[in-house]
Amino acid sequence: MNAGTRKMLILDSITFAHKARDYLMKKGIQCYIERIPKHLHINGCGYGLRVDRDAGIIAEMLRDAGIRVKNIIDIQ
Amino acid sequence: MTYLDNAATSYPKPAIVQKAVWDAMTIYGGNPGRSGHAMAMRVSEKIFAVRSSAAAFFGTELENVIFTQNCTMALNMAIKGVMRQGGHVILSCLEHNSVIRPIYKLHKEGICNYSIASVFEDNDEATVAAFENEIRPDTRAIVCTHASNVSGAVLPIEALGQLCRKKGLLFIVDAAQSAGVLPINMKTMNIDFLCMPGHKGLYGITGSGILLINSETKLDTLLEGGTGSLSADREQPDFYPDRLEAGTVNTPGILSIGAGLDFIRNMGRENIYQREFRHCKRLYDILSGVQGVHLVNRNYTFGRNAPIVSFAFDGMESEELTRILNRYGFALRGGLHCAPLAHEHYNTADGGLVRFAPSVFTSDAQVQDFSRKVQIIRKKPLGSLEL
């Protein structure tokens, strides 16, 4: 974990952001749906899931649950 | 006015549905899935909750719940999305125009061919065999109604789903008269595409519908446009629901469906069906003994009929009878019900049928009053009934 570095998981759509959020919350993992910052847009606008720790592990968990994570980006 | 036209659209709507629509206009403004402000995020959350609720209710994944304007739009999306590639499709002899017209258009354009399979209402095996006999090497799909909107006759969906799996066909089901009333599970029934209105048995408002998908087949699109995702791409996203939900969705309609599903869960789907069936059975039994009344169903059986009883008076157009019933304070639909194929099957294309379709809000007293009035009208000389 990199203290002070927040990450955003980029998902296909707002629907998948909600689905991923619900899945992680059931596992006790805090996360927040946010609009992807404009300067970080990949292929246009969209929504991502902000996590405060272990982004790589969380992305793997989501992939294992059948939720595609397109990218992980630093948001600060 | 006693409203008995719930097969066209349900009325009244439950109080929680009315509240959901009000909330959509007063609390859940903003465009879901487009902006990042708090109001837009709140409504996105609500839309997601309804998607999850519908997915759980009908047995599919939440991202495969596509909100549409109505059942017709859902059927067009499924039929054209599958059949635009060509091939052959089989439909039943009880289909609504929302099935036959899109297929006929594709056929006229030289894109696909179709066959019509007979339905044997008292013999499911014969019905399934009729479909199986129509299968050709190029058959891609079976499209059929779960329950006829003319007679309420229930088709053997589970067995037809098994046939589709066995033969490698896609299965598209029109649940216009069954969603919210009869048991439906897409996974156990092997349904690939399930189409329904939001405003009938789900108690939502008009202008709402759902297409549910339980298939790896990617549907071709009817509409393309903004989805709030992959905005820099000229191509429509390949993932659901965005692929099939171009443009702003109908928030009041979707929230009304969500509240309608909550209402059904609270009441119990089976309790709703039992109540509506009881009303229909009662009317069916009474009218069976009235001379000069022609009932379209030979039997009326629990589980084999959706809550619809259609009938006609000998020597009178059904539209004329509904006008008379309207004068007596009863709202029912007459005519062909947009299902000329079914009327050919029942031999009722000339005068059409009057369709009695109660809802969970219909009372025993209203059914009693209606059956009494029908008998009174029947006893009057036809010439004395002119409006």
* B174-230 confidence digits (pLDDT tens): 999 999 999 999 999 999 999 999 999 999 999 999 999 999 999 999 999 999 888
Q: In sequence order, which ranges of B84-239 are alpha helices (DSSP H)?
A: 97-108, 124-134, 157-167
Rounded Cα gap, residues B22 and B353, in angstroms: 37
Of A25, A3, A11, give the one whose Cα is nearest residue A76.
A3
- The dihedral of CA A26, A27, A29, A31: what is its sign? negative
CB proximity list for B347: less than 8 A, separation 6 or greater: none
CB proximity list for B223: less than 8 A, separation 6 or greater: B244, B246, B247
Taking contacts as CB-CB distances below 8 angstroms, the residues of chain A near B235 are none
CB contact under 8 A, A46 and B36: no
Taking contacts as CB-CB distances below 8 angstroms, the residues of chain A near B237 are 12-13
> Residue B383: what pLDDT?
66
B38 contacts chain A (CB < 8 A)? no
Measured between CA atoms, the residue of chain A closest to residue B37 is A35
CB contact under 8 A, B45 and A46: no
pLDDT tens for the 387 residues of chain B, in order: 999 999 999 999 999 999 999 999 999 989 998 888 999 999 999 999 999 999 999 999 999 999 999 999 999 999 999 999 999 999 999 999 999 999 999 999 999 999 999 999 999 999 999 999 999 999 999 999 999 999 999 999 999 999 999 999 999 999 999 999 999 999 999 999 999 999 999 999 999 999 999 999 999 999 999 998 888 889 999 999 999 999 999 999 999 999 999 999 999 999 999 999 999 999 999 999 999 999 999 899 999 999 999 999 998 999 999 999 999 999 999 999 999 899 999 999 888 999 999 999 999 999 999 999 999 999 887 666 655
Measured between CA atoms, the residue of chain B closest to residue A68 is B239
Chain B: closest CA distance from residue A28 (Å): 19
Rounded Cα gap, residues A50 and A73, in angstroms: 10
CB contact residues (below 8 A), chain A span 18-37, against chain B: 18-19, 22, 33-35
From the list A18, A34, A46, the residue facing B229 with the nearest CB is A46
Tokens 């002119």, residue? B386
CB contact residues (below 8 A), chain B span 69-108, against chain A: none
Measured between CA atoms, the residue of chain B closest to residue A35 is B36
Interface test with A, best of B41, B43, B48 (most A CBs within 10 A): B48
CB proximity list for B39: less than 8 A, separation 6 or greater: B28, B29, B30
CB B141 within 8 A of CB B171: yes
From the list A33, A35, A43, the residue facing B233 with the nearest CB is A43
Taking contacts as CB-CB distances below 8 angstroms, the residues of chain B near A44 are 229-233
> Residue A44: what pLDDT?
66
Taking contacts as CB-CB distances below 8 angstroms, the residues of chain A near B248 are none
CB contact residues (below 8 A), chain B span 42-61, against chain A: 44-45, 48, 51-52
Taking contacts as CB-CB distances below 8 angstroms, the residues of chain A near B231 are 43-46
Q: In which residue ranges of chain A is pLDDT below 50?
A: 1-2
Of B328, B329, B334, give the one whose Cα is nearest residue B377.
B328
Extract the tokens encoding B40. 């837009």
Chain A: closest CA distance from residue B230 (Å): 5
A16 contacts chain B (CB < 8 A)? yes
CB B271 within 8 A of CB B69: no
Taking contacts as CB-CB distances below 8 angstroms, the residues of chain B near A19 are 48, 62-63
A15 contacts chain B (CB < 8 A)? yes
Of B79, B304, B334, give the one whose Cα is nearest residue B181.
B304
Tokens 């793997």, residue? A60
Rounded Cα gap, residues B249 and B114, in angstroms: 33
> Residue B205: what pLDDT?
98
CB contact under 8 A, A14 and B239: no
> Residue A2: what pLDDT?
47
B228 contacts chain A (CB < 8 A)? yes
Extract the tokens encoding B186. 């897409």
> Residue B282: what pLDDT?
97
Rounded Cα gap, residues B227 and B44, in angstroms: 13
> Helices B38-58 and B251-267, interaxial angle, to 10°?
40
Measured between CA atoms, the residue of chain B closest to residue A21 is B45
Extract the tokens encoding B51. 């998607």
